[in-house]
Chains A and B, each alone.
Chain A
Amino acid sequence: MEVSVIRSCSQATILKTELGFKDSRFSFGKFNEKLFFRKPNSVSFQSPLRRGKSGLRITAQAAQSDPLPKSKSSTKSKTLNRVRLFAGLPLDVVSGGTVNQFRAISAGLKALKLLGLEGVELPIWWGVVEHESMGKYDWSGYLTIAEMVRKAGLKLHVTLCFHASSQPKIPLPEWVLDIGKTKSNIFFKDRAGKPYRGCLSLAVDELAVLNGKTPMQVYQDFCESFKSAFSAFIGSTIMGITMGLGPDGELRYPSHRGFAKSDTVPGAGEFQCYDKNMLHLLKQHAEACGKPKWGLGGPHDAPANSELPTANTFFKDHGGSWESPYGDFFLSWYSSQLIAHGDRLLSLASSVFSDSAVNIFGKVPLMHSWHGTRSHPSELTAGFYNTATRKGYEEVAEMFARNSCKIILPGMDQSDKYQLKESLSSPESLLAEIGTACNKHGVGISGQNSTVGAPDGLKQIKKNMLSENLNDSFIFQRIGAQFFAPEHFPLFIEFVRKLNQPELHSGNLPTKEGTTTATDSVHTRSNLSIHMQSA
């Protein structure tokens, strides 16, 4: 079937002539997509197009050398341009010392460069590099990536992952897991005593549990080795390093275990202070405060992991134990442990990289469910003593400021209106709260989208990029089949183009109805959710 095409100047495929396309082969399949019409029911039929080699050469010239020429002078676009855009590489881009899907990565990098992205984010896993035995590092695959990125003319943001990933499966180093088999107290535990093997407990930071070394020393050795292996890149290609701080790299306790389901109301989470070493620290603290009886365990009336906050009395909106003196005692201690842990790691990173021209980042989670209650249970169990009556992110921001580190906030794609009503969730107001605290302490904010994806995510990201919530960079998660898929990538292109040239609305684009329609329809489809790989 065929209907002749009324060509608009948007038929960019024709421009290919210049680049070695000899004929129309390339564009044939797109006819049906690019058809457009004047009015329904009266399609014009005209004689077939003659697309020969003549007449289609372009000797085009442009005024700027930007990869994707931006239009000049728009104040709005300037505001936007200060936020640098990165895209995350696949989590398992390197495994066993080799680069996976080399050609795809290489093509992807070129596409991103042409699109005008600042760079890419590369997750480097403890469990990949120091996989076999302590102190034996294999950086080869990651070095190959760094070289590819450099050659592509992009910047690199490195994330040092001291945690494990479940999907794709990247566990902690084998030798660490081996130690954990006999000493399960190097892991966080919940009240039932179930260990979390996704990262080490913060209580062992300074204990010599890893073959005579403390985890802090092991992290430090890792960072030093990274620094020397990548010395040729740091400061030139590598401009930012994110220090892994806990579960999923985030500064928090693994309070929410198991699968995050988008369609069920999440629980309150559970306090994770039940490994031997945490309990010991709690006991010491309680005794020092003169309340030895408070140091025997966590709150007895807190709900379990997947239970709703209302399942027990600790988080009750009015008169819950969280507001009691005991509650304050426990929550202060619990959150201060987390902040101290973050402080240790970030100051470690700052000192290791002090002589390098890189920014150090740390990631803070967006525990937005139950934010609408007074007690903010999800935040409390994750280690943030932030309630209706206490501004808990101040001390977090202050800790980042002290170490001259910037903060990474995920969940920039989440908007309030798509949250489950029952979960009293508000990602937007929580983001604003953290943003305010950061601005107050002069901490730069870099954004990320959430791992689960969100309806209208790109729109929300753009909104955040224009707001005060975001002032450093944005790392879009993450490259892969889904990212480059025809149902997503065009949206992403549109997103980037609009960031760079917000005044150039689609109406101004050379393509008229054809593309606009196509874009619109994809937009609606994307509402179904962009499913990104988990970070």
Chain B
Amino acid sequence: MAAVTIDSLLQNPTLVFRPKAKVLLKPPRSLDCSRNRKLPLSRGSCLCSFNPRRTIHVVRASSSETALIGNFDISSSDDILYKDIFPVKRIEKVEGKFFIRLDRSKDQHDWQLTVGCSLPGKWILHWGVSYLGDSGSEWDQPPKGMRPPGSIPIKDYAIETPLKKLSEGDIFHEVKIDFNPISEIAAIHFVLKDEETGAWYQHRGMDFKVPLVDYLEDDGNIVGAKRGFGVWSGALQQFSNVLLKSEASHADSQNNSIESKDSKNKNRCLEGFYEEQSIVKEVSVGNLVSVAVRKSPETGKVIVCLETDIPGDVVVHWGVCRDDAKIWEIPAAPYPPETTVFKNKALRTLLQPKATGNRSGALFTLDEEHFGFLFVLKLDDNTWLKFKENDFYVPLLGTSSVPGQYGQSDSTSEEISSKSYTDGIINEIRNLVSGLSSEKSQKTKKKEVQESILQEIEQLAAEAYSIFRSSITTVPDEVVSETETTKPAVKISSGTGTGFEILCQGFNWESHKSGRWYMELKEKASEISSLGFTVIWLPPPTESVSPEGYMPKDLYNLNSRYGTIDELKELVKSLHEVGMKVLGDVVLNHRCAHFKNQNGVWNIFGGRLNWDDRAVVADDPHFQGRGNKSSGDNFHAAPNIDHSQEFVRKDLKEWLGWLREEIGYDGWRLDFVRGFWGGYVKDYLEASGPYFAVGEYWDSLSYTYGEMDHNQDSHRQRIVDWINATNGTAGAFDVTTKGILHSALERCEYWRLSDQKGKPPGVVGWWPSRAVTFIENHDTGSTQGHWRFPGGKEMQGYAYILTHPGTPAVFYDHIFSHHRSEIASLISVRNRNGIHCRSLVKIVKAERDVYAAIIDEKVAMKIGPGYYEPPSGSQRWSLALEGRDYKVWETS
């Protein structure tokens, strides 16, 4: 169901840009929003892997803390060696409602927009308006008369108005905005902000927009007209259905009255409506974990008594240690009931509910020689609770520690452990720097050292940045709820195609060499199609300064080193005949110039698109562009095109349309999209209406001292941000997944293939339908080999991407190699089982030497040398395919 909503959003042809520069759109923390019609927690569950079955707990007031402490029935005998109560914080979700109502105010002349929210908090409406005839996407400040009392202007583009409870007994905090429908205001835009938590509440990453005019008033059929025209992207497009159903008669009568009264005002057709959404707020909840250690006088053993008031199932993941190094070990049996051994490193014990109160606990009996007791807690929503980012530690050896001192000693030890990670390297650098000072070092060497230190600084800064940023970034709008429909409607959108696409990259870095690639590929068309591919990506077709085609010059000259324009047309025709869609590789970021300007700088273009230097971005001094500054990164080898120029966009749209028409391309592979804003891509895609489009957003993953970070959220966030900017009209290559596969396979660290929430760690874990997974392309592999997939492990990579959600892409070199039959078998397993870009993946194992997952409950797979067999339960699994370090099963 959600899939439908989303797609309708994506097909919306108008541009509703985020007010990019002016509104703070990096919300400090995003709140989860889902519409009432959907399962309220479906997306929430993906955000935080919060178990939906769980009931929402009421937030406890902190004042009850003392009472709780008193209640813990730690044995009161005086043989207690140690006793402490640890406060822990966890995130709980509180659910409430949020409504938007548009209706006439009491005096019947003005209209009123009411926004309310039932969750506790200091809610602020951050809002602005746009006027008729505004072409841009920016907000304006509403006229003074429209601002409710207590409003505060924010710079010159927005207003912040607090939501208030009208009376103490009210459930909703609300704010009412009165306005005159005859004004020039076209729409009211807003986002909701909770001052207490600093969280922003947006509509799928955009502002809420309440349109106040309707250009299609004459049409009569408002619902149909709106759907067709689709002016109102954002919340209200979908609202119209609901409101018409629920308030049809009411709204109609109002419409009639307003039309009769305001006959002059032909272009207005306001409808009252009321819309509710559920809103989920993350609240940090304090709980307590109490630990007492005493010695059993009879047995001489040490008994650790652990108790907590955390609701739900709590598993203690525990061990003991010998010394201050706090290295985990498993003690000798006996263990408490419900204990399992975890990876031979720790024990897991499920806490048993206590008879009194809502607490649970366990008793651990240990030999007295142990130095300390270590534990962390795992809650039933798969979150882990630690003590100040470290293990809980309870001293056992006769330490009668005072709780106060304890906290301090722990914070120090915590620091040591986290420091030790990086300290070694810093010391190494220091040694480098100071090591052989007596020797006269060469100047270049010194510079190298400087550079290496700078590099180090940049790394540290990047680490700090990613953490600081992660605390304020939004988790992307999850679309996994799409997967909930068991049979997704086959609905084509440019971001996904049908959802069942399998891509073939139809060239490599050497393909230009023969001069007749198009003809060579044509001969292979039916062969490629028969392997199961549905889409093929052809090399860049334009005249280019470099033979590979990525330095385009005259965009309308399609005679290239791959063949002539006629050969290209012929190839496309053959591919269509065998049922494949064809993607053109379009380079929109930069273009090589034909002529020099008066300063001798190459920035004047020729050919049919004879732009001058206004088409070149201004912030690359080498090309002396007179355009605006670049909206993205610059590619320094050629003039970067300024997409903010109207004439440039118009020309490019025309060109894309021409390619569709003239050549018959079905879609695009977009080169170097880091170079310009994703919003422009959306513009181009909407103008050219491709069947499928995918962008190359390639930047560096996060590494800390050469070790790739487990958490690549910031990396995939950047890709997701870009997809978001295109409004989901394009997919993107899942560079994150490739990077993580590299580390996992190369270093035998298969645990990397599950993120902290038990989802795939790449873009495919967050926005599967827009992730184009791949393991190699003409840049990373082929004869360039800039970032080659670990040798000999390619099939493990394909076993992963061809069984997982996302749209997999297979590289030409791999298809025409000894991997071919294995790849073909994987593709047929995928097709046979109907795995698609939104399939549901359940990771069942992510350990050092093996990763295993079950997809859509139809296909099971494992990669890595370790052991895995699918469970022999209700489903019967049969081995479909087996290769070096991978196996794939399907249900029989």
Contact = CB atoms under 8 A, between A and B. Distances in A.
User: A and B bound?
Assistant: yes
Interface of A: 1-4, 9-10, 12-13, 15-16, 18-22, 24-33, 35-37, 39-43, 45, 48, 58, 60-69, 98-99, 101-108, 110-111, 114-115, 140, 143-144, 147-148, 151, 168-169, 259, 261-264, 479-481, 484-486, 489-490, 493, 509-511, 513-514, 517, 520-521, 524-525
Interface string B596-635: 0000011100000000000000011111000001000111
B457 A114 contact: yes
Interface of B: 152-156, 195, 198, 388-389, 407-408, 411-412, 414-415, 418-419, 422, 425-426, 428-430, 432-437, 439-441, 444-458, 460-465, 467-469, 471-472, 509, 545-546, 548, 550-551, 587, 592-593, 601-603, 619-623, 629, 633-639, 671-672, 674, 696, 698-701, 703, 705-706, 708, 739, 742, 778-780, 783-787
19 contacts: A2-B779, A9-B447, A16-B455, A19-B428, A29-B701, A32-B635, A39-B602, A40-B592, A43-B546, A43-B637, A64-B434, A107-B461, A110-B426, A111-B460, A168-B198, A485-B465, A486-B462, A489-B461, A520-B621
B452 A16 contact: yes
B542 to A, nearest CB: 13
A103 B546 contact: no
Contacts of B778: 2
A68 B450 contact: yes
Nearest to B635: A32
A67 B461 CA distance: 16
A24 B506 CA distance: 26
Contacts of B551: 3, 43
Contact of A65 (B428, B433, B452, B619): B433
A24, A61, A106: residue with the most chain B Cβ atoms closer than 10 Å:
A61
A20 B425 CA distance: 9
Given A40-B602, A102-B389, A115-B457, A1 B671 contact: yes
B74 to A, nearest CB: 23
A40 B445 contact: no
Contacts of A9: 444, 447-448
Contacts of B638: 40-41, 43
A30 B462 CA distance: 14
Contact of A13 (B154, B455, B701): B455
Given A61-B441, A102-B389, A111-B464, A36 B636 contact: yes
Given A26-B700, A484-B462, A517-B620, A61 B445 contact: yes
A486 to B, nearest CB: 7
Nearest to A12: B451
B446 A144 contact: no
A140 B405 CA distance: 10
A24 B463 CA distance: 19
Contacts of A19: 425, 428-429, 452, 705-706
A22 B706 contact: yes
A153 B433 CA distance: 16
Contact of B637 (A3, A61, A101, A490): A3
B460 A33 contact: no
A140 B411 contact: yes
B619 A484 contact: no
A2 to B, nearest CB: 4
Nearest to B675: A32
Nearest to A36: B636
Ranked 7 nearest A-B pairs via Cβ: A29-B700, A12-B451, A104-B467, A65-B434, A111-B460, A484-B465, A40-B602
B445 A15 contact: no
A479 B464 CA distance: 10
Given A2-B550, A62-B433, A485-B465, A106 B418 contact: yes
Given A24-B786, A58-B449, A61-B437, 13 more contacts: A3-B546, A28-B780, A61-B449, A62-B433, A67-B453, A69-B433, A69-B453, A102-B389, A114-B456, A147-B411, A263-B155, A510-B450, A521-B634
Contacts of A10: 451
Contact of A481 (B195, B415, B469, B784): B469
A473 to B, nearest CB: 21
Contacts, number: 281
A32 B454 CA distance: 19
Contacts of B548: 2
A481 B435 CA distance: 34
B455 A143 contact: no
B451 A103 contact: no
A524 B629 contact: yes
Given A29-B701, A62-B432, A48 B437 contact: no
A58 B433 contact: no
Contacts of A509: 447
Given A43-B551, A481-B468, A517-B620, A61 B454 contact: no
B471 A32 contact: no
B410 to A, nearest CB: 10
A131 B703 CA distance: 40
Nearest to B160: A259
Nearest to B699: A29
A61 B435 contact: yes
Contacts of B419: 106, 151
Nearest to B455: A12
Nearest to A169: B195
Contact of A69 (B444, B450, B634, B787): B450
B461 A517 contact: no
B372 to A, nearest CB: 21
A28 B788 CA distance: 10
A25 B747 CA distance: 13
A485 B458 CA distance: 10
A521 B784 contact: no
A25 B712 CA distance: 14
A517 B700 contact: no
A24, A62, A67: residue with the most chain B Cβ atoms closer than 10 Å:
A62
B449 A69 contact: yes
A45 B156 CA distance: 50
Given A114-B456, A521-B634, A61 B439 contact: yes
B706 A40 contact: no
A28 B786 contact: yes
A144 B411 contact: yes
Nearest to A485: B465
A58 B593 contact: no
Contacts of A169: 195
A67 B454 CA distance: 10
Contacts of A514: 636
A105 to B, nearest CB: 8
A231 to B, nearest CB: 15
A37 B706 contact: no
Contacts of A4: 784
B415 A148 contact: yes
A108 B465 CA distance: 8
A110 B703 contact: no
Given A24-B787, A68-B450, A524-B619, A510 B444 contact: yes
Contacts of B411: 99, 140, 144, 147
Given A1-B550, A2-B784, A517-B636, A107 B467 contact: yes
Given A108-B461, A114-B460, A144-B415, A65 B786 contact: no
B627 to A, nearest CB: 14
A1 B415 contact: no
A55 B587 CA distance: 36
A103 B463 contact: yes
B790 to A, nearest CB: 10
A454 to B, nearest CB: 16
A9 B551 CA distance: 25
A516 B672 CA distance: 22
A487 to B, nearest CB: 10
Nearest to B700: A29
Given A106-B418, A108-B464, A67 B433 contact: yes
A138 to B, nearest CB: 10
B827 to A, nearest CB: 27
Nearest to A524: B619
